[in-house]
Amino acid sequence: MFSRLFRVPSAGVMTAVVACTGLFFVSYAGQAQSHASHSSHSSSLIDERMNKDAHGVTAVQLYTCAMHPHVRSSNSNDRCPICGMALIPVEQDDDALPGSDDAVIRLSPRANALLQPELTPVRRQQATASLSLVGQLAADQSQLKTISAWASGRIERLFIDRAAIDVAMGKPLVELFSPELVVVQQELIQAKHLASNRGRSAIDASSSKAMLDSAYRRLRLFGVPSEQIEAILHSEKLQDTITISAPVSGRVMEKLVNAGDYVSLGQPLFTVLNLDTLWLELEAFEHQLPLIQPGQRIEVELLALPDERLETEVLLLEPVVDASRRTVRVRALLQNPDGRLKPGMLARAQLKSTQDDVLLIPVSAALLTGERALVYMKLDDERPTYVGREVRLGRRFGNDYEVLSGLDEHALVVSKGAMRLDSELQIRGLSSMMAAADEGGNPHAHHHGTHAGEPRTEDSTTSSRSRQLVTEFQLKPDDEQALLLSYRQLYQALTDDDLAGWQQGAADFHRAVAAIDWPKALEAEVQAMQQGKGHSHHIGSLEQARELYYSQVQALLTLTEQGVLADGWYRAYCPMARGGKGATWLQPQGHVLNPYYGAMMLRCGDIQQQFAKEEQHAH
């Protein structure tokens, strides 16, 4: 949040705002009694005061609480529903443009310098998207060959005595004794003699030739090579065994017989797999399927070959979704001429796709709630002015989002510092990312405590110790806002699968926790929130980040259930998180955004409760 100035017409009262680490504190100089003594006399004048902006639009004077700036009222006689303090006028700062529903925030030069917003122009260009998938190599089943017995008989000899041996085409596998082979050889020699008898008629010669050809073909069906058949015809010596050779090169996957076994015609003896090509089988979740098309280029990295990059393309997507994993198998083909690739190797793949003429903004510029996306755009250089624009986003291209509507090319958007701008709008009671207008037109309906006729949301498990702790300890508003702001950053980073964003948010969160003077009764919760302090930049995976987050958010939930912070926030629960153990978390919005899964299952879970503080002050 940023420094602001509230002008108070009552004499002797001045409101000053001191900027501190991006948040602000409101302090008073003067006597509270003088303010109270003049309030009855001056309130009617204040109530009737109207401001006109530069466009001539009349604006009603609003009042706020110095300690709780999000409280708004148009009646100067109202008091803060939280602390009971008298309200003070809000400086009319033209927070809305005439004729527009966009919320505008104007900063002083000092506030803008403290924020140090990073601006990035909206650009139109060619964009390349990269989708990360994991999987493994598998055998190409079209290259799996079964070698069967070509005749009935007994296994005399095995040339391959075990599986997992590489064989070359034509290499002997088994020697088979077959009585049928002897009979066919006798027919072959007899047909040869008949065909060579010159004294026979032409009809008999034709019949003998047909018999010779038939015997020759039968021997070939038994697997006897042509050279061996010619040798039998020349020597007229019968052979009682045949040698079955490998019809293809590959690896023997199964040996199904042993020496001495009797086999029948067609009985499988071996299976041989040609490993010159392998399947690459990747797993894609359902929401990723629109981003995958046959023919799309794939860059593959194998765990066993970390220094190499292989390239292929998507061949097909299987038509069935795995019911238990909720994934679809994506297949590609990898060439393996040197045999280095093995079935079962783990693989990581990047699927590349290119799109021309895309309107892009940085990912960090978009504030996402799951239902809406908001971007802050700079309007004026003379006095820093920013406006929140709701946009419709398309695909994510690396570190950029595609903008389908809501922004024009060359507009300057806030790519760093947008969350703080959004928080300031919430304090001013304007529509923001987390606080859209309600049904009554109030852009920031925010309730503290329990008023007459209003239902109170309270955790049924709140103990008497918790109620006592709420009475004894309350966070300062600026401490609470700093803590929740940093928590929102790390929570949103996990829902966006943004490790770098989580690292920054975790570091800010630890600093915010350390800056608070916690009571000894909350020592366990503070230790849990400080887990990983000073080491967030060493966390190298989202899995590790989510393990740390689990401990931190459980401590935050404990504090929230005790009424210490996060008034109006929600507790959500996912039964599948943390390996099926289930996990809860704290979130500011009323619809589920799951930090334990991110994009994988962003909407998995249910809202269990909305928190509300117990009423601490009489009105």
Superfamily of domain 118-140+274-416: Efflux pump adaptor protein, beta barrel domain (2.40.30.170)
Task: Give dist(CA 473, CA 562) in Å, integer.
Answer: 10
Model pLDDT for residues 160-205, shown as the tens digit of each residue: 888 888 888 888 888 888 887 778 888 788 777 777 765 555 556 6
Residue 176 and residue 155 in contact, taking contact as beta carbons nearer than 8 Å: yes
**Which range has the worst mean pLDDT, 120-134, 182-196, 582-596?**
182-196
Please tell me which residue, 581 or 455, carries the higher pLDDT value.
Answer: 581
Model pLDDT for residues 510-535, shown as the tens digit of each residue: 989 999 988 888 888 888 898 888 88
Instruction: Say yes or no to pLDDT of 608 above 90.
Output: no
Give the residue from 479, 535, 537 showing the smallest Cα distance to 512.
479
Task: Give dist(CA 55, CA 58) in Å, integer.
Answer: 9
pLDDT at 432: 63
pLDDT confidence band for 96 (50 / 70 / 90) = very low
pTM of the model: 0.45
Instruction: Say yes or no to pLDDT of 148 above 90.
Output: no
Instruction: Say yes or no to pLDDT of 118 above 60.
Output: yes
Task: Give the CB-side neighbour count of residue 619, counting CA atoms within 13 A.
Answer: 13
pLDDT at 604: 87
pLDDT at 112: 81
Residue type, 197: N
Model pLDDT for residues 386-424, shown as the tens digit of each residue: 888 889 998 888 888 999 999 999 999 999 888 878 777
pLDDT confidence band for 457 (50 / 70 / 90) = very low
Please tell me which residue, 175 or 7, carries the higher pLDDT value.
Answer: 175
Task: Give dist(CA 213, CA 52) in Å, integer.
Answer: 111
pLDDT at 61: 79
For 9, which DSSP code? -
**Which range has the worst mean pLDDT, 151-155, 333-337, 546-550, 555-559?**
151-155
pLDDT at 104: 77
Instruction: Say yes or no to pLDDT of 74 above 70.
Output: yes
Please tell me which residue, 447 or 256, carries the higher pLDDT value.
Answer: 256
Q: What are the residue boundaries of the structural domains of the chain, listed by start?
A: 14-114, 118-140+274-416, 141-268, 454-619
pLDDT at 434: 55
Residue type, 285: F
Instruction: Say yes or no to pLDDT of 276 above 70.
Output: yes
Task: Give dist(CA 502, CA 496) in Å, integer.
Answer: 9
What is the residue-wise DSSP string for 478-539? HHHHHHHHHHHHHHHHHHTT-HHHHHHHHHHHHHHHHTS---GGGHHHHHHHTTTTT-GGG-
